[in-house]
A and B are shown apart, each in its own frame.
Chain A
Amino acid sequence: MKKSLVVLLILTLFLSGCWDRRELNELGIAMALGIDKSEGKYLVSAQVVVPSEVSMKTNSQGRSAVTLFQASGESIYEAFRKMTKNSPRKIYPGHLLILVISEDLAKEGIAESLDLLSRDWELRPDFYVVVAKNTTASEVLNVNTPIESIPANKMYNTLQVSERNWAGTKGMILDELIKDLLADGKEAVLTGIEVIGDKESGSSKQNVETITSAAEIKYDHLAVFKGDRLVGWLNEEESRGYADITNSVKSTVTAIPCPQKGKITLNILHYNSKVTGAIKKGKPEVNIKIQAEGDVGEVQCPIDLTKPKTIDELEKIYEKEVEEIIHRTVDTLRNQFNSDIFGFGDAISRSNPKVWDKMKEHWDEKFSEVTVNTQIDVKIRRIGTVNNSFLEKIKD
């Protein structure tokens, strides 16, 4: 009796297990996903890696490193499963790096499309979400990229590097995006992605065989949302203004005018901004406090950097410059889109929760009345490896 029980137990071990076992070479590893909408149906494109082409081993046959599978369906999930009709392996989205949403779909609203992606257990909600500007998502995923043979890797790395070093882009992962969509006093922002050049030849191998690619993927502009709908795009200056306000700057470079003529470029290394809300005389008010530290990066004008006074002057110019950008950006958002992407409402709800409860119903109107105060403090610490520019001596 006991013996048969043991045998049964061992059998259950080897008969019941393994149900979710998948060998590595049964996986179609999707690194990027694109969602378009046409004629009421979702068109899902998955950029799937061809592992033998990516690996270091010499037996690669010169084929493309990724391939694109597409399927359309009533829902994203349906379309996703339908891909098995033309893919030899089941699409495995666990390592998804980037999700591209087409501009058309974004204008209609993105909330419905995101449910599957946050619900499915195979997905990790830490991939970037971007919006395809002036193009469809499938076209973005259809471009071969130099350096990174997997375009999804290129998109992921470019976004990460530019966010860290330029600050004009915003790497928004799914979790943050959903949080922003749900927040009362904050609207979502996504980075735009564009295909520049000849879209047709982008998918061919020749695209990466020449020094300049015929088609290129590039991030530009920030997509402004109101609710879950795209309402417009920010230009580069406004994008940086957005980063300045929301403390998204890690490091950046800014050219400012010299006191006389020419330009001087500052390299910002430490940056911190804080938005606090307040109610003054019944009116909402936000204070933006910015502290930044940086170096002199490039000098294109005759200026005596060895004098502390000059440095003070430069700091003043930069502070003024940032202040202007911030006000211009806030004005654009108020007048053109009426979308509070900075989280001003959020700041007020934190400082005056009771007032916010009454105010949030008609925040859209109040948003344009908010007084924006800025307090900017910039310190220039170093001037690089030379003192004064040699430009001065050349002119003599």
Chain B
Amino acid sequence: MGFFKKKTNTKEQSTSPSQTKETSSPNDLKTSLQDNIQFVKDSLGESSDIVIREIRIGQGGSVKAGIFYTDGLTDTPSLQNFIMESLMLDIKGTGLEKKLTPGHNILTALKDFAMTVGEIKDLTNFDDLFTSLLSGDTILLIDGYSEGLVIGNKHWVERGITEPASQTVVRGPREGFSENLRVNTALIRRKIKDPNLWMESKVIGTRTKTNVSLMYIHGVANDKIVNEVRLRLDRIDIDGILESGNIEGFIEDSTYSPFPTVFNTERPDIVAAALLEGRIAILVDGTPFVLIVPALFVQFFQSPEDYYVHTGIGSLIRLLRFFSFVIALLAPALFVAITTFHQVMLPPALLISLTAQREGVPFPAFVEAIIMEVTFEILREAGIRMPRSIGSAMSIVGAFVIGTAAVEAGIISAAMVIVVSITAISSFVSPTYNMAISVRILRFVFMGLAASFGLYGLAIGLVAMILHLCSLRSFGIPYMAPFAPFNVSDQKDTLIVVPIWKMFTRPRLINQTNVVRQQDPASAKPQPPKNEETRE
């Protein structure tokens, strides 16, 4: 433990000096337009995508003005139509033009009468100027004023709303989050039109100035947890946040646990459902992955489709997921343990068949399993990283060379190939990528235990894993809830999924104040109308 503490200390030291450096320059805008232009040019190193346009407005062009924008981040047609045109052409000969002479308060006049744009903000210092300019807003400065206007007309080319690549469903909405924070919040707002859906914005990252939004339903989410999330987010002090994974690294409860304590998703319906349960969503600009806290163990086995299909198949598939979790975790370890320590457990015919397959295999079963597992991990990693166009080539190499040829060459036994394939397929059943990763790590630990102690080692390992799981917490909520601590009413959405009209209450541990989510199940149960009612 001491080793880890030391590491975090050094990190804090390295980040603290950068904080003070930023605010040292004289920050306020200058009165002279020329000075301001010069300062901006100097500060940005005359970057070629920064466009500075000097114009003259007002009667007889008596007022000098400067327009600043970042090419590519600003909506150029709207800049021309609604700002340049209204300033330079439309006000010609109107009463307004007379006000635009030195002596009048030009900025207020422009703001009130000329700018046909929705979002306008006042500007007094360079920090805000740079943040706005580099975020894609247009800046308007007038000569003679140490103030300016920020005109919100950000616009850039971005990926549209497409079907998410992960957490796919057969039945359910096909839309997924995009990289734009605003679009993402809009997708959630479109699902929950409740005034109590509150959103708090933060800017994290001293250099990237990434917008981060906190969303929760006021009155449903537990205030203590909201405060805790706020606190943890405020504690982050780093130069850049590029993906929600960076935030996750800072706020998760247990970094070195193989199990994830923060949920992430690309699907608005999952976020909406989580918000309705009283969870909190953290949206980060620039990534389609939204974080959800608190995240419990069972949550990683829930797919949105479970609630959209028939309750029977939903429950069976839920059970199947837990089952395949166990297979993905233990199959190679069990195989190694049974074939090297507990041959008595195998039926005679199977024993003979497995022995026959092992004839001539040069490695012990454990080494064989490690070889196959590592090979599979390499194939999988290559499949993700390599260019799409050579994918088919790799699957041929993977399937034929590794699978068939290794068995025919007598290096690997056929049974081991089956076990590793079953394991691999089972690990893909998990609806969340996070949990699949933790299983990948633990699988090797269990294989080591099985190879040295057999089933005894496996049992010890499993006990240790369960103890660890029970000790984990996600934002104050026990990770294994509602199994440990056990809660009867929350079992409705764990191993099985009960019909939706029976999901009368929200999860107890996450939400203690506002528990009831629908009318009483007794009257909610769908049933044919009673005779007396139909007669009338």
- Residue in chain A with minimal CB distance to B414: A57
* Contact A29 to B340, CB < 8 A, known contacts A2-B2, A17-B457, A18-B451: no
Q: Is the interface of B mostly helix, strand, loop or mixed?
A: helix
8 Å CB contact of B361 from A2, A25, A27, A150: A25
B213-241 vs A: 1/0 string, CB under 8 Å?
Answer: 00000000000000000000000000000
* Contact A52 to B356, CB < 8 A, known contacts A17-B457, A24-B339: yes
Asked if B364 lies at the interface with its beta carbon under 8 angstroms from chain A, I say yes
Residues of B326-368 whose CB lies within 8 A of A: 339-341, 343-344, 348, 351-361, 364-365
B423-457 vs A: 1/0 string, CB under 8 Å?
Answer: 00000000000000000000000001101111001
Segment among A89-97, A103-111, A376-384 that sits at the interface with chain B? A89-97
A residues in contact with B451, CB < 8 Å: 17-18, 21
Q: Contact at A23–B341, with CB atoms within 8 Å?
A: no
A residues in contact with B3, CB < 8 Å: 3
8 Å CB contact of B452 from A17, A54, A153: A17
- Residue in chain A with minimal CB distance to B354: A24
Count of chain B residues near A, Cβ 8 A: 29
Q: Contact at B348–A18, with CB atoms within 8 Å?
A: no
A residues in contact with B365, CB < 8 Å: 23-24
Query: Separation in Å of the A253 CB from the closest CB of chain B?
Result: 30
Asked if A56 lies at the interface with its beta carbon under 8 angstroms from chain B, I say yes
A20→B337 CA distance, assembly (Å): 11
Q: Contact at B358–A24, with CB atoms within 8 Å?
A: yes
A17→B449 CA distance, assembly (Å): 9
Q: Contact at B352–A54, with CB atoms within 8 Å?
A: yes
Q: Contact at A124–B344, with CB atoms within 8 Å?
A: yes
A54→B352 CA distance, assembly (Å): 7
A residues in contact with B344, CB < 8 Å: 94-95, 122, 124
A55→B356 CA distance, assembly (Å): 6
8 Å CB contact of B356 from A3, A23, A54, A92: A54
B residues in contact with A18, CB < 8 Å: 451-452
**Is the interface on chain A under 10, 10 to 19, 20 to 34, or 35 or more residues?**
20 to 34
A281→B457 CA distance, assembly (Å): 65
8 Å CB contact of B358 from A23, A94, A150, A153: A23
* Contact A56 to B353, CB < 8 A, known contacts A14-B452, A23-B364, A25-B359: yes
- Residue in chain B with minimal CB distance to A13: B452
8 Å CB contact of A97 from B2, B348, B353: B348
A residues in contact with B353, CB < 8 Å: 51, 54-56
* Contact A24 to B355, CB < 8 A, known contacts A2-B2, A94-B343: yes
Q: Contact at A25–B452, with CB atoms within 8 Å?
A: no
Asked if A303 lies at the interface with its beta carbon under 8 angstroms from chain B, I say no
Q: Contact at B2–A95, with CB atoms within 8 Å?
A: no
Query: Separation in Å of the B137 CB from the closest CB of chain A?
Result: 54
Asked if A119 lies at the interface with its beta carbon under 8 angstroms from chain B, I say no
Residues of B184-221 whose CB lies within 8 A of A: none
Query: Separation in Å of the B180 CB from the closest CB of chain A?
Result: 47
- Residue in chain B with minimal CB distance to A121: B344
A88→B85 CA distance, assembly (Å): 97
A39-52 vs B: 1/0 string, CB under 8 Å?
Answer: 00000000001011
Q: Contact at B357–A55, with CB atoms within 8 Å?
A: yes
A51→B346 CA distance, assembly (Å): 15
Instruction: Give 27 pairs: A residue, B residue, CB < 8 Å, sorted on A.
Output: A13-B452, A18-B451, A20-B341, A21-B341, A21-B451, A23-B339, A23-B340, A23-B358, A24-B339, A24-B343, A24-B354, A24-B365, A25-B355, A25-B360, A25-B361, A27-B355, A29-B351, A31-B348, A51-B356, A52-B359, A54-B352, A54-B353, A92-B343, A94-B343, A95-B351, A122-B344, A153-B348
| List of 3 A-B pairs having minimum Cβ-Cβ separation, nearest first | A17-B452, A55-B356, A51-B356
